Amino acid sequence: MRRLFKIRWIAALLVVAGAVCFLSFKSGDSRSFQIAKNLDIFNSIVKELDMFYVDTIDPNKTIREGIDAMLYSLDPYTEYFPEDDQAELEQMLKNSYGGIGSIIRYDPKLKRTVIAEPYENMPAANVGLKAGDILLEIDGKDLLGNTDVSKLLRGQVGTSFKLKVQRPGTEKPLEFDIVRRSIQLPFIPYYAVLDDNVGYINLSTFSGNPSKEFKQAFLDLKKKGITSLVIDLRNNGGGLLEESIEIANFFLPRGKTLVTTKGKIQQASNTYKTLREPLDLEIPLAVLVNGGTASSSEILAGSLQDLDRAVIVGSRTFGKGLVQTTRPLPYGGTMKLTTSKYYIPSGRCVQAIDYEHRNEDGNVKRIPDSLTNVFHTAAGREVRDGGGVTPDISVKQDKLPNILYYLVNDNLIFNYATDYCLKHPTIPSPEQFEVTDADYADFKAMVKKADFKYDQQTEKILKNLKEMAEFEGYLADSSEEFKALEKKLSHNLDRDLDHFSKDIKNMIAVEIIKRYYYQRGSIIQQLKDDDDLKEAVKVLGDQPKYKEMLSSPAVSTIKKEK
């Protein structure tokens, strides 16, 4: 009887406790209740749409769009990858994928996809595909109007397919048997010894395992007698945090704290230190950066700056101070989500955009410089958080002319390079090649024959100014001045092609050279007149100035005006 009473008493307590939990849960104070409530609402909405909406909905498409919109409201780095998209995620993490190894692009005029740039030593290049080849069929399937040919080209490593292309300058289509393989994009597309024994390493990514190749390249340069080193991180969008620490460790002592991550849960908060003996603690370093330098690239550049180990040259970096990890989901899916922020040795976080506090319209803005905080390097130099890594030597960046954008967008430079390659089986080395005046005359003739049109921003602005002047009653008194200005700003293709010939010639040279020497060749061409590199070589060649910049807190950012 006593045992029965005890059981009933416990049961009564459980009922009361359950009622209290339910009331508390239902009260809305619990985050668990809010999540359960909104999931229930979302589930009901989908069911109602499926049952009553006038048209049949595609549940995969509708729900995926809802998921993507939800994640994008957080930050652009938190993404959902269903089972079918795992290859895309793997490419992002490992810098590799199963395919043919070529950049392709869709030409809306042809309504077909064109080979834009085969990668060196990859299946596309090895079987003989060339830039300019027009893709006609894959395994007999016509590709006309297909804007997503990349999905057909990619696939399981070792599988094969037949590709039919039309090559400009040939009458009959060409057929190729291609076997897909794991495409590993080059970690270091180019390294060399420049003038005055300055080493140069172009590092394109931190995905995969680039530290191994970087080490080999650096040791090879050391054997060749370099006395200083330039590390080019421009347009390097990052990758694995551990890889940036490994490369920084080549030039920093063992046991240095380089990165601290802080997140909501304990597993997201870590401290990363250099774990190995360095390769070289003395060699002078300069690091090239720009607005495309992001994430792990900023960790490397920022750590070397904070520890006064390298002079940073170029323009302010992107400002991505967020760390992502992956989480498995049901049905073979994966979510890549932001779990922490990272802080480099001075204690600063370089995150430039505050995604948590959006404008009323949902847009985000960079954190203004006035709201950033001052930190200090190991030597006491001032650096700031909240806006990427600001270079020690800021180089004013050239603005590309408006006409060049339209020449590239209309494929005129690409098509000229294709025609040029048909007429020239070989060209000189990238170091020696140049677009001659005769070549440029041929290019100008092709542009004119194509009836090339492009917008001039001055004409647009002048038209808007004239309309505003008329609206405010000033046009009548200034009509002669407007006429004179319109005459001076009239559309003149010959003038613009001549005036901007230097930039256009350089773009033509890049497009031609990479047809013969691939990515390595295009980098060599772009380095021929590179203001960032010039400044880096200059400061490395002036050792007293180099040491002063890394030791004196009084030295402020040098602005190089052109």
**DSSP letters of 285-343?**
EEEEE-TT--THHHHHHHHHHHTT-SEEEES------EEEEEEE-GGG-EEEEEEEEEE
Among the listed residues 134, 140, 104, 105, the one whose alpha carbon sits nearest the alpha carbon of residue 122: 104
Would 396 be classed as within a structural domain?
no
Would 458 be classed as within a structural domain?
yes
Specify whether 250 is located in the same domain as 365: yes
Q: Look up residue 62 and give its two tokens.
A: 């509708």
SS3 421: helix
Specify whether 241 is located in the same domain as 346: yes
Would 12 be classed as within a structural domain?
no
The predicted structure's pLDDT at residue 18: 47
Would 10 be classed as within a structural domain?
no
Among the listed residues 298, 117, 97, the one whose alpha carbon sits nearest the alpha carbon of residue 185: 97
Specify whether 458 is located in the same domain as 328: no
The predicted structure's pLDDT at residue 554: 56
Would 420 be classed as within a structural domain?
yes
Q: How many whole angstroms separate alpha carbon 105 and alpha carbon 328?
A: 33
Specify whether 211 is located in the same domain as 323: yes
Domain end among 140, 162, 184: 184
Domain end among 167, 184, 201: 184
CATH number (domain holding residue 381) = 3.90.226.10
List the domain range (segments joined by +) for residue 458: 402-530
Would 549 be classed as within a structural domain?
no
Specify whether 311 is located in the same domain as 264: yes
pLDDT by residue, tens only, the chain of 562 residues? 444 444 444 344 434 444 444 444 554 468 889 999 999 999 999 999 999 999 999 999 999 999 999 998 899 999 999 988 887 787 777 777 889 999 999 999 999 999 999 999 999 999 999 999 999 999 999 999 999 999 899 888 899 999 999 999 999 999 999 999 998 888 999 999 999 999 999 999 999 899 999 999 999 999 999 999 999 999 999 999 999 999 999 999 999 999 999 999 988 999 999 999 999 999 999 999 999 999 999 999 999 999 999 999 999 999 999 999 999 999 999 999 999 999 999 999 999 998 988 887 778 888 888 889 999 999 999 999 988 999 999 999 888 888 999 999 999 999 999 999 999 999 999 999 999 999 999 999 999 999 888 876 777 777 788 788 777 887 777 877 777 776 666 678 888 999 999 999 999 999 999 999 999 999 999 999 999 999 999 999 999 999 999 997 754 455 555 5
Would 560 be classed as within a structural domain?
no
Domain total in the chain: 4
Pairing of strands 334-343, 79-81: antiparallel
Q: How many whole angstroms separate alpha carbon 365 and alpha carbon 161?
A: 47
CATH number (domain holding residue 132) = 2.30.42.10
Specify whether 260 is located in the same domain as 383: yes
The predicted structure's pLDDT at residue 362: 77
Would 552 be classed as within a structural domain?
no
List the catalytic residues: 295, 306, 320
Specify whether 200 is located in the same domain as 101: no
Specify whether 344 is located in the same domain as 467: no
Specify whether 429 is located in the same domain as 380: no
Specify whether 360 is located in the same domain as 229: yes
The predicted structure's pLDDT at residue 2: 45
Specify whether 413 is located in the same domain as 283: no
Specify whether 169 is located in the same domain as 309: no
The predicted structure's pLDDT at residue 269: 93
